[in-house]
Structure 1
Amino acid sequence: MISPARRKAAAFLLLSLASAAGAVAWRPHRRLADSHPRVDLETLFPRQFGDWRVDERVPVQLVSPDTKALLDKIYNQTLARTYVNGRGERIMLSVAYGGDQSDATRAHLPEVCYPAQGFQILSSRKATLELGSRSLRVRRLVSQQGARVEPITYWIMVGERVALSGTDQKLAQLSYSTRGVIPDGMLVRVSSIDSDAAHAFGLQQQFVGDLDKAIAADRRPLVLGRASG
């Protein structure tokens, strides 16, 4: 006859095994990146659109070796370009894409990488850009290093959802994981060297609006999120 203590131990073991099996079955296993055409940042972001074109005279933006090593660990692809318009105004575009934006790979925020390169963050606030196809939630920073003032607009994509905060990212990941999906992720940053932050943010909004029109319609959700309505 089985003693009560052994019966309780056996029941506990069975529950533990069932929980472990359930966790494995619940774990996301389908990659969202496999459900759409392969992402190639070089072609996804046009070299010329609207009044903007890549300024070939400006060298590729460089980051510190530590920052580059972290980006290479988190993301599959990175892109850095400087665009210029007909008035000679310049916008720096930096994009990082990862096919697996799960708990193991978190977006590398400008609030972290800029101070790591000697910048001070003077201000940070959320904003909404009204684009032709959608409203885009972004974060705006003003950074400074010596006499260089660099206003920044950026947003983070988890799958096809904009996620500006760590909590937003967790919620987006959870939403996908309940469907058994591992989302991909993208960080898009535009910035310019300008001591007039209001002017810089206006120019950056114009740039993003022109970019919205230039990106293929079926690829916009990946870069800008799904349009509401």
Structure 2
Amino acid sequence: MQSVHYPHIVSFYGACVERGKYALVIEYMSLGSLYKILHKDRLALDWSARLSIALQTAESINYLHKLQQPILHRDIKSSNILLENSHEGYIVKVCDFGLARTQNEITRQTQLIDGLTCTLQWTAPERLRLEKYTKKSDVYSLGIVYWEIAANEIPYDGHDNAVIREFVLAGERLEMPKTTPSSFSALINECWANDPNDRPECSYLIEMIENLIQEQSNFMFVVLL
């Protein structure tokens, strides 16, 4: 990942190994993870901030997917999305590429080689069936993160893995908060479609979220008039 440079991906500087233990040297992000902000710090984010976080996250994954040799993250979740403050708002960077693979590497693997290595709450149904991981599996995980941003809750909080697996494989999904803008709800529903072919590309997510941000901006302008 040292060769990957993008504004919304955490910079990797090096690694240290001592007595069988290793440590990575990466870019410092003072606010910590999105998981920490939502579920520990309990920050009250307005929808402008939420949509900005959603957009920047989609941009980072889209960059990986559009590389000449596409990279699949394979472990997208709120604890792997880091934030920093700036005068323009939150800066978002994706981290933890321990499970990341190029698309060619995924194709060469059999379906059973690495089993379920992702965190279950964010794992796509095809992976629960031990089927091949694709770009659309990353998109499903993004949909769960987007639900997290909307609900300010931990996905499937209090339920064990067996219950979550059964729920997801049955085609059930988390209940959408009533305060979620309808366009964002629709986007989340597209992201976590049961059939990977029915899920959008990250480039589509970017376009739709940019439209949502523009709509919000226009609404605020009208209100201020």
Whether the TM-score (by the shorter chain) exceeds 0.5 is no
Bin the TM-score by the shorter chain.
Answer: under 0.3
Which structure ranks higher in relative contact order (CA pairs < 8 Å, sequence separation ≥ 6)? 1
Return the structure number with greater helix share. 2
Determine which structure has the larger strand proportion and give its number: 1
In the superposition, the TM-score normalised over structure 2's length comes to: 0.25
